[in-house]
Chains A and B, each alone.
Chain A
């Protein structure tokens, strides 16, 4: 883990009434590290973020940010910023106006604000749109401005809740570059995402949240190897829904049904397995429209974790 520990959660439990949102969660984040939290909706990602910002009190366990409890002390909150999932900016104000008022609301002095605004706009590359109203910006620029607002206080820890939702590939790559630049500057970043590719491209480590527990942590490559070895998913696309005899044949060939009745899959590490399976399907007269290999994605990871959890 690069540098010292910036944030740490130890055996954290959070409950809302009878519903347990986090169940004994342990996590630490190092200085200058990008950590991606992956998980389904409702898995506890946002609750974890809120526990880190002190917005919710944990039921039991310990939360430390810069060695202090953010729920009780303001000092750790001065060193971190949150980028909410929504564009948390005023739509009828320009980018610059938004950054100026956000700076004021964050407690910056009138003398500090102009310089910080310029810096934040430069890092996020929004200077050329600084006089545009937020409501007139594209999704990518809105996201950049959303991040710029969080950078005004020059945080040491940046929390981003799904920062690239709804933006195109080009804007996403630009945002990734911005986050990498911030990491180079020593900022620690905790982000939530549904996108395994994004986590792979950006993060030093990932944590996979399932049912309020951190089921896996570590570099994404290691996790995938640990879970799937060298296996890849073979996906068979059928031309029509299989009859009962056809289903029996598909199962005999090692395929399993998926949520899509026209798609069946299996896992294999053998390079030649794809060709053999295609030949076998033809011999049994099963009409397919595609057969392909797929790298494991978040859905496969979560499905396997949930299967392991029973």
Chain B
């Protein structure tokens, strides 16, 4: 009874081009789009677009403009004649992510802060990112300006003599000249960064591969599980229930098919991730495969349970769209969970998405062991078993209605 039920789903899927595309073309395609978006905004390819106006036109501000123009992580729109309002307009109409108005000499504080960042509320994070960039650029390329602030504070508390100050100014003038010809950092900074994972392995993308895979496993699972409702509507269940075979076999067959379909979908998504972003899931294929199977089991079980409680295809589509979108958003399939407030991150652990992403992340980390995955696997399997049991109970109850 299990295999005939799975065969029905396979044949029905193969003869429905729309469902085939939904199941096997859309997931890798959406993954590639998501990966392109998120690697651009949270990875090392982030390039803020800034508009710059130099109102002060001092040697220091001119040097800063040059530094900004040469900085590879920025895209700069600069017009020598641009005023403050021009930059504000660029920010308002979305032409740039944020604006920088250099309104005074970098060494002076009489008229307030000399550098004004103009941000847009919709892109407020760009202001924080740019403030960090500026600190880094000043300390690397214009250490005289950065150090001048420290000196000013020392002078204010009487920490250096006028002779010492004259010597320091002389040294920094020479350094500034050198910096213009050779912008490389000359000293080891306070902070250095390193990735916990080897470079060029597509680790950032693996998050989205898992996130997108689980979302599409849910969506395609529901498309498949809707056959429960169709069969009920067609009278197939009436026919089968009049016979001696238990209904559990039909549900098991559908579950089996959905798990296989989900595994194929995950293979496609991760293959795309491997080809385009270097995500090496083959290196830890065993852990990846088990993770995929438990993720597919959890999503298939959830899809079947959602369809079991619906009495029409339309009702199932509305309910499942609602549920899938909510749990995908809360579970981190749409936006990385580390962007979320703590309460939403905590809520996310109630979704299969969060555990699936966590499991994929652990499975793809070099050197990870089974023990690091046991919790996620266990919870996903518990979700699958609970959902299947619920589906069975609802279906048996319908027999007596």
B11 touching A105, Cβ below 8 Å: no
Interface 1/0 per residue, B240-271 and A, CB below 8 Å: 11111100011000000000000000000000
B11 touching A93, Cβ below 8 Å: yes
A-B contact count (CB 8 A): 88
Among the stretches A75-83, A195-203, A251-259, A297-305, the one at the interface with B is A75-83
Rank and list the top 10 A-B pairs by shortest CB-CB distance, nearest first: A104-B4, A84-B235, A88-B235, A82-B242, A53-B242, A74-B244, A86-B235, A101-B4, A77-B244, A78-B244
A105 touching B5, Cβ below 8 Å: yes
A55 touching B244, Cβ below 8 Å: no
Which chain A residues border B4 with CB–CB below 8 Å? 100-105
A97 touching B245, Cβ below 8 Å: no
A88-B234 contact given A53-B242, A93-B12, A101-B8, CB 8 Å threshold: yes
Which chain B residues border A103 with CB–CB below 8 Å? 4
B234 touching A86, Cβ below 8 Å: yes
Report Cα–Cα, A133/B15, bound state, in Å: 11
Which chain A residues border B164 with CB–CB below 8 Å? none
The residue that B243 contacts in the complex, of A57, A87, A106, with Cβ under 8 A, is A106
Most buried by B among A77, A83, A88, A107: A88
Does B184 reach chain A (CB closer than 8 Å)?
A: no
Report Cα–Cα, A78/B3, bound state, in Å: 20
Residues of A near any B CB (own CB < 8 A): 53-57, 74-75, 77-78, 80-93, 97, 100-107, 133, 149-150, 153, 159
A77-B11 contact given A55-B399, A92-B16, A101-B4, CB 8 Å threshold: no
Which chain A residues border B400 with CB–CB below 8 Å? 55-57
- Least CB distance from A129 to B in Å reads 17
- Least CB distance from A152 to B in Å reads 10
B11 touching A92, Cβ below 8 Å: yes
B236 touching A85, Cβ below 8 Å: no
A78 touching B243, Cβ below 8 Å: yes
Report Cα–Cα, A80/B12, bound state, in Å: 28
Q: Which residue of B lies closest to A103 (CB)?
A: B4
- Beyond known contacts A54-B242, A104-B3: 17 more, CB 8 A cutoff: A53-B241, A55-B238, A55-B242, A55-B399, A78-B244, A82-B242, A86-B234, A87-B234, A88-B239, A90-B234, A93-B12, A101-B4, A101-B5, A104-B1, A105-B250, A106-B243, A107-B245
Interface 1/0 per residue, B9-44 and A, CB below 8 Å: 001100110000000000000000000000000000
A88-B244 contact given A55-B399, A93-B8, A104-B1, CB 8 Å threshold: no
Interface 1/0 per residue, B343-369 and A, CB below 8 Å: 000000000000000000000000000
Does B165 reach chain A (CB closer than 8 Å)?
A: no
Residues of B near any A CB (own CB < 8 A): 1, 3-5, 7-8, 11-12, 15-16, 233-236, 238-245, 249-250, 399-400
Q: Which residue of A lies closest to B4 (CB)?
A: A104
Q: Which residue of A lies closest to B399 (CB)?
A: A55
Which chain B residues border A106 with CB–CB below 8 Å? 240, 243, 245
B245 touching A105, Cβ below 8 Å: yes
Report Cα–Cα, A82/B235, bound state, in Å: 10
A159-B242 contact given A93-B8, A93-B11, CB 8 Å threshold: yes
Which chain B residues border A93 with CB–CB below 8 Å? 8, 11-12
Which chain B residues border A86 with CB–CB below 8 Å? 233-235
The 13 sampled A-B contact pairs (Cβ below 8 Å) are A55-B242, A84-B239, A85-B235, A88-B234, A89-B236, A90-B8, A90-B234, A92-B11, A100-B4, A104-B4, A105-B4, A105-B5, A106-B240
